[in-house]
Homo-oligomer: A and B are copies of this chain.
């Protein structure tokens, strides 16, 4: 069913029907009503491709994320989708699996106008950002969330990572830790580095000397990380505190401690970034820094939509920071 047939049914012109459907003032109320009624009767839906082609607008955004089986990103998407649905937008999902190559190929594909805007949380391997610059050059609005990069000017929605790094480290120190390991995923991830900076500065302020053997670079692979952590925890001078900069690493630490029979929190205390509902049900319950993932998704989407709809509008802050919260549980108890 297309406009041509539709128009014929009503003995109207294609343009009249089109205008009526878009509630144009050029069409009388009477015919508008007639058209609307007929549209309902025929279950007429405009062809999105014809419409997008003509209007040069897709009413679609893309969300590019490194992984989805991670409550943080799942919740962020939930937030995005909520706003998108309100605004009548469609949401395309692309997973990069932490692979820059995939990130590059995805952004290339998105340059052709398929989407009106892009939200991205960069992969942990991303250093060169020319592919993202490419999007901007093609006039496609871009918003970063959580995993941002300083190298490009665009709205960025994050949590207070530096501050959270401080809070987590202070929390461990207050509970008696003196030798705190920082588990990181990548040296070129802004969130990792900011959290690390908070950790380093807090050690300094507490006159604990910084030992770079305690900055543990982990990988994306759980089994590999287990090996790395086993090596760390089997040392005779093993750390007495662990600050996991991402959820997965906190869990891996738990698993390794179980295997090595290391008691949390007696032998070692753990705090980690996490959005797990089960944090409080773990054995022992896990002290966490929780990011407001859903709100981040909503906020990022809102900003993207104003970017799309009010091009030229200058009131959008480059950085939006939403605070995360520290929840103290048994894994850090004295």
Contacts and interface: CB of A to CB of B under 8 A. Distances in A.
**Residue of A49, A68, A70 most packed against chain B (CB within 10 A):** A49
Interface residues of A, number: 50
Contacts of A282: 278, 281-283
How many copies altogether? 2
A221 interface: no
B111 A93 contact: no
A289 B235 CA distance: 37
Given A53-B49, A281-B251, A283-B281, A95 B81 contact: yes
A11 to B, nearest CB: 24
A46 interface: yes
Contacts of A281: 251, 254-255, 258, 278, 282-283
Interface string A78-98: 100110010000111111000
A78 B95 contact: yes
B71 A78 contact: no
Interface of A: 43, 45-50, 52-53, 58, 60, 67-71, 74-75, 77-78, 81-82, 85, 90-95, 102, 108-109, 111-114, 134, 251, 254-255, 258, 276-278, 280-285
Closest 7 CB pairs of A and B: A283-B283, A45-B112, A49-B53, A49-B52, A278-B278, A49-B49, A48-B114
Given A53-B53, A81-B93, 8 more contacts: A47-B113, A49-B49, A49-B50, A67-B78, A68-B74, A74-B74, A82-B95, A255-B281
